[in-house]
Amino acid sequence: MLSPLALIGIVIVSCLMSVAILGSLLRTAVPGIGRWCVAHALLVAASSWVLIAGGQPGQFVMIGASLITLIAVLLLVQGMRQFFGKGSVRHGESVAFVIIFVALVYFTCVSPNIDARVALVSIFLAYARIAVGTLALRHAPRDGARYPYRFVAAAAYLGALFHVTRAFAVAFGMPQMDFLQPSPWNVLFLGLAIVTLPCLSTGMVMLAHDQLVRRMEQLASIDELTGVLMRRAFMARANVLLREAVAKGKPLSIAILDIDKFKAVNDRFGHAVGDRILRHVTSVVSARLRSCDLFGRLGGEEFAIVFVAARKTEAAALTDELRLAVERSSNEDVRCTFSAGVECVTPDDTLAGALARADAALYMAKATGRNRVVTASEIDERDVETH
């Protein structure tokens, strides 16, 4: 049977591996990684201190190791909140931390009571793991793989179960509950709690990896300058909306927008002003679009909108409202307007065909004075291609 000190040695090795893996991810700037890394390093320090002290550590070692462990556990919870973009520090937790530490000092130095110490630490560790598991489930993203978040929750809740069981065992007078005592029950509780620690650390690495994957997907689909979908991502999602519209028998319209005289603005005022105009137009349009509609940048100063459940006339009216909003928000020094072409996608149509007709309407809007919305006329698709 493994002794408690041998199990502590396993904790040290496990935490060292976690520090190495999490430390390699620090440069990714994923929120919470720094606190997780420091927490595991503190667990290494506390466990090493107890291991060096041997089977009969003094009061100073017990108090010091307990303090470091409590801080490490608190950092794990705070790191999880930080990972999900929440406020990391909670006033109630800080107060509970101080109360438990003072109680540990009292039951170690003033009125020594092993059972009280074990119960206090077990309750705090159980709370921390329940908090980590709950955060992982409550704030897991609805899209994409949810497995890493469920894995973390399972490992956290399982560890919490062991700590709660240990606290109840103390309450019912189970003997030799000091965690360094080599009793079968003690080794069982300590061993089961330790098994969940590397699982929790692995889960945290999985969370960081999932965050990085989402970042890469965002970089591949979101235009960095304007914050809207790039052409490839826009076309992919637009085709999905088209299939859904055909399946439900609902209309779908598309508009192509082009900022007027954008090249002249770039040449006269510079690309910095041009970039500011691009961001301004997209922010005005995005703020006024319906939540069901799709907005993307096709390239340069050209954008597209898919209007869900909207016929051509309704889409044209919505586009004209956007045009007026952009015109009214223009700067006095640089007049900012756009022209647009609008077309409806028929059930037997393709997105490329509708885009071509909307593009032809856009060119007509440009040719007839700019700063206007033109709906596509009944042009044969072959005529559009030759145009």
The contacts found for 52-59 with CB under 8 angstroms, 24 or more apart, are 54/5, 55/5, 55/180, 56/180, 57/180, 59/108, 59/109
**Integer Cα distance of 370 and 361 in angstroms:** 12
Query: Is 213 domain-assigned?
Result: yes
* Two tokens, residue 247: 């399946």
CATH at residue 362? 3.30.70.270
For position 384, what pLDDT does the model report? 44
**Integer Cα distance of 299 and 297 in angstroms:** 6
Among candidate residues 194, 220, 246, the one where a domain is terminated: 220
Q: Which pLDDT tens digit goes with each residue over 234-276?
A: 999 999 999 999 889 899 999 999 999 999 888 888 889 899 9
CB 46 within 8 A of CB 70: no
Q: Tell me, yes or no, whether 193 and 264 share the same domain.
A: no
Query: Is 157 domain-assigned?
Result: yes
Q: How many domains does the chain have?
A: 2
Query: Is 352 domain-assigned?
Result: yes
Which run of H or of E encompasses 257?
strand 252-259
For position 385, what pLDDT does the model report? 45
Q: Tell me, yes or no, whether 280 and 332 share the same domain.
A: yes
Q: Which pLDDT tens digit goes with each residue over 45-81?
A: 998 988 888 767 788 888 999 999 999 999 999 999 9
Q: Which pLDDT tens digit goes with each residue over 141-176?
A: 887 778 999 999 999 998 898 888 878 877 776 654
* Residue in the block written with tokens 């050209």: 302
Structural domain containing residue 301? 231-386
Among candidate residues 192, 220, 248, the one where a domain is terminated: 220
CATH at residue 189? 1.20.1070
Q: Which pLDDT tens digit goes with each residue over 371-385?
A: 999 998 744 443 444
* Two tokens, residue 13: 């090795």
Confidence of residue 315 (pLDDT cuts 50, 70, 90): very high
Q: Tell me, yes or no, whether 43 and 187 share the same domain.
A: yes
Confidence of residue 103 (pLDDT cuts 50, 70, 90): very high
For position 181, what pLDDT does the model report? 57
Among candidate residues 220, 252, 272, the one where a domain is terminated: 220
